[in-house]
Structure 1
Amino acid sequence: MSTLPDTDAVMIIADSESDADMLYASGLFAPDAYTYIEQDGKKTVLMSDLEIDRARVQSKADEVLSLTVYTKRAEDRSGEKSQFMDAVAELLNEKKIHALLVPNRFPTGYADQLRERGFTVQAKADPFWNQRPMKTADEVAAIAEASRHTESAIRVAIAAISEATVKDGILQGPEGPLTSEYIKRLLHIHLLERDCIAQHTIVAGGIQGCDPHNAGSGPLPANAPIILDVFPKSMKTGYFADITRTVIKGPAPDVFKRMYDTVLEGQEQVFSRLKAGIDGKEIHEAVENLFTSRGYETGEKNGRMQGFFHGTGHGFGLEIHEPPRISKNTDLLQAGHIVTNEPGLYYPELGGGIRIEDNTFVTEEGYVNLTQIEKMFEV
């Protein structure tokens, strides 16, 4: 990453468990905050004694330095007990760094302490690493691996729904009524056994599926759509997958069959346009126009939104939502982007919603669909 004209180096202070920019830069999983500096292409991390040996083996850094050593140097210089930022300042001064470029989310307290010590601190809008939205071959492989595990888990969930019996309009499983919670537990255990962790998984049946981010709860209905939206993170690589399938147990009413087929058609609208150089807004509008032409209107009705009222897709990688977006806003797609393709229709008055989501790798000529799991509605 090149710095801006008025800066000498880039710096991040964060833990890499929660800060994707730090994980991307350092390649090291660490639950506590540490310091990353990049100057003229050289990568330096300042680590606690607890993590320093592991960082020397596992990180991408060119040099790994001891926080304890620089804390002592600062204390020797001042004759007083040093704070964390005194040790950071000692290292910056040693490297003759005076002006820093930091992420937009850089802690205000740290920025203030650096300025008090005479440093210039400038924040950069996202994406902090300009190259991060374009995925390398290794990143694509990591996402594909997470996708295979996600697909395997979804198949387990669909099998449980398929094997359920029906009583009084409610699916019945081995423990009584088949619930969203039971299916989520199946998904999560399956993924944990494959070193993936899933949070906020959506198993939303019937009218619950009309709120796209309703995680779902309680017994699952028969003859109504069940949305399975699963987006785990690999604990080995830090990369996400993000796949959605909608299924129905029992004969599907014609109203839902038609809605499902229309959403599938919406996905094809995306696939037919997806390639480097196209504006995501153009793709989104094509899906909107298709849905409207099929009689599916979008807007508020009886106090709730209905129709197609979210974006068509988004980037993801080390975070579940990254640039670019396929939405109402202009955003040019580039070769190397990985984006979801996830149109949906939601009608509370009909009693359910449909969403189907695949993951695609954008190329100059078109795309590669990274999602392999079959699309079936009635199970």
Structure 2
Amino acid sequence: MKKPIIPRVLLAAGMEKTDVFYATGLDTPDPFVLVKAGARLHLVVSALEASRAKRVCPKAILHTPGELFAGEPGGARRSYADQIRAVLERLGATGITVGSWFPHGVAEALRAGGIVVSLDPAPPFPGRAIKTPREIAFIAKTQRAAVAAMRRAIAVLREAEIRSDGRLQWNGRLLTSERVKAEIERTLLARGCSAEGPIVASGSQGARPHDTGSGPLRAHSPIVIDIFPRDQRTGYWGDLTRTVVRGRATPEVRRMYRAVRAAQALALSMVRPGVESRAVQHAVEQFFTDEGYPTRLSPPGRESGFIHSVGHGIGLDIHENPGLRNEPGRLRAGNVVTVEPGLYQPGLGGVRIEDTVVVTPDGCRILASLARTLEI
């Protein structure tokens, strides 16, 4: 007897939205239901989106609330749980699986209506981790926009004058993190990308890896610039980081920079099919320890050394699988990951260098190259 198919149900909202976009190519302002029954996809979209859904995802079986509840009062405004139950009735299914990010309220409403809801933490579309040539081209295009924006940011810093008080001045006004970020954002928008909170963090701000930076920029101090745009048409992300000093870096910052650059070279040399993610993480951690930079994760807010993973997958999400971190799993050709070791010293600042690479059959390839130069 053939084993019955238990549908996987997703809601195009929150953390599930990109999985649904990956499967359907449909992006809408309001959430909609995706029911994956074996190889068949069922979409429940509003009448406002039906014609577009049919064009964008012709392989899907299309439903609208009005069609599912034809003749019933208020049919077009039925809840997501009601919509899912209606599709399940047509499939003859009484149970579903959902992922870890599926809305709890919808799951409870389904259970209250007699549907068996089981958790399946596995990715609904594991193929997302292996990028197609088309996806790699999309990410490379976004990464080239990031390179253009980084070049603009560095050009502004290079043009800036060093005032007697050590602060930077550009075009007759104090140069701030906000002004450099505005130049980054303009450059990205001109290339069809949205600027998703770039980081321009100077001095001690750079010791906090996700501090976006604020206020005046100073000479002779490390400035961490992290740019992660999203292409407005394709939805694919890029990610790029450089650390620069306008003027002369201190001996300790130069030493940190040399260590980070060497650590990135080490990680890049290891990225290839079959390599365990955690092997790259462990190698970089050990390298920094041997260089005299042990990791200290306490007290909270005063962490120092290498305090994050070597890198993360990137695609329709800025952070996705696979990662270069302390976890099992081996890299495969077609994975796209960042390689971004960094060192952080409270009170002094941070140094991080990041490139985005695609795993190739015999190693990896940087998707958009940019020189690594500390002093400008």
TM-score by length of 2: 0.92
1: CA distance, partners of 2:130 / 2:297: 37
1: CA distance, partners of 2:78 / 2:190: 45
The alpha-carbon deviation at position 83 of structure 1 amounts to: 4.3
1:16/1:28 contact within 8 Å kept: no
1:324 paired with 2:304, answer no
Q: Deviations over 1:280-307 (max 9, x none)?
A: 2111121122222222232268871111
1: CA distance, partners of 2:122 / 2:149: 33
Determine the structure 1 residue equivalent to 2:287.
290
2: CA distance, partners of 1:288 / 1:276: 21
1:44 paired with 2:42, answer yes
The alpha-carbon deviation at position 65 of structure 1 amounts to: 2.1
Alpha carbons of structure 1 residues 38 and 202: separation in structure 2 relative to 1, 3 Å: same
Aligned partner of residue 43 in structure 1, secondary structure: strand
1:7/1:100 contact within 8 Å kept: no
1:267 paired with 2:275, answer no
1:178 paired with 2:180, answer no
Determine the structure 1 residue equivalent to 2:251.
254
The alpha-carbon deviation at position 362 of structure 1 amounts to: 1.5
Q: Deviations over 1:57-77 (max 9, x none)?
A: 12364332222111325x28x
2: CA distance, partners of 1:228 / 1:297: 24
1:146 paired with 2:123, answer no
1: CA distance, partners of 2:123 / 2:231: 22
Alpha carbons of structure 1 residues 23 and 104: separation in structure 2 relative to 1, 3 Å: same
Which segments of 5 or more consecutive residues in structure 1 lack a partner in the other structure? none
Alignment of 1:1-379 (within 5 A): 7-15=5-13, 19-59=17-57, 61-72=59-70, 75=72, 83-167=79-163, 168-174=165-171, 176-299=173-296, 304-349=302-347, 351-379=348-376
| Structure 1 counterpart of 2:142, one-letter code | A
Q: Deviations over 1:179-229 (max 9, x none)?
A: 011111111122122221122311001111011111100001101111110
| Structure 2 counterpart of 1:269, one-letter code | L
2: CA distance, partners of 1:172 / 1:23: 44
- More off after superposition, 251-260 vs 45-54: 251-260
Aligned partner of residue 70 in structure 2, secondary structure: helix
1:16/1:30 contact within 8 Å kept: no
- More off after superposition, 319-328 vs 260-269: 319-328
2: CA distance, partners of 1:90 / 1:326: 42
1: CA distance, partners of 2:15 / 2:52: 15
TM-score by length of 1: 0.91
1:48/1:66 contact within 8 Å kept: yes
| Structure 2 counterpart of 1:72, one-letter code | A
Identity of aligned pairs, percent?
37
1:334/1:362 contact within 8 Å kept: yes
The alpha-carbon deviation at position 126 of structure 1 amounts to: 4.4
Aligned partner of residue 101 in structure 1, secondary structure: strand
Q: Deviations over 1:33-64 (max 9, x none)?
A: 11112223122211101111111112364332
Alignment RMSD, CA only? 2.3
Which segments of 5 or more consecutive residues in structure 2 lack a partner in the other structure? none
The alpha-carbon deviation at position 15 of structure 1 amounts to: 3.6
Alpha carbons of structure 1 residues 282 and 365: separation in structure 2 relative to 1, 3 Å: same
Aligned partner of residue 131 in structure 1, secondary structure: helix
Alpha carbons of structure 1 residues 66 and 329: separation in structure 2 relative to 1, 3 Å: closer
2: CA distance, partners of 1:237 / 1:244: 22
